[in-house]
Amino acid sequence: MGEVVLQCAVKTAWNAKPRRISLFFDSGSAYTFLRHSEAKRLGHLLKLSASRPFLGMGDGHFASTHLVDLWLLLADVWCRHPTYVISDGATDVPLLVGHDFMQRFDIKLNLKTRQAIINRESLLRAQRIRRLR
């Protein structure tokens, strides 16, 4: 499988100063993960009431004890997404963007060209609060 990487501004609070980071899109990952060292730099870590175990990366088992309310700037739209914080040893990438984020914001991957297909209208539509009449 091809690797899709994108440089992006991120922050963990609406009024925080953004930082540039590399996003690694992984359509095989169900969740989005941020390395602990990156999360500490960004700040605003939220402690989970219990450790959340996962399978797959690192030695096959890893866990998250924190979340961040991550804001990513894509196509001039700030996209907010809860993200699990994992130990630096669990992954060698700063931010692994999983299927949860891609499905929510309708992001497609072209693995042949190694590009993320991002539609500004889809990003905006995903953030609207809808109500039933």
> Per-residue pLDDT tens for 72-125?
999 999 999 999 999 998 888 999 999 999 999 999 999 899 999 999 999 999
Model confidence, pTM: 0.91
Domains and CATH numbers, the chain: 4-125 (2.40.70.10)
Position 107 scores a pLDDT of 97
Mean pLDDT, all residues of the chain: 92
Average pLDDT over residues 15-21: 95
**Does the pLDDT value for residue 56 go beyond 80?**
no
Position 58 scores a pLDDT of 56
Contact status, residue 111 vs residue 1, Cβ threshold 8 Å: yes
Element (H, E) at 35: strand 33-35
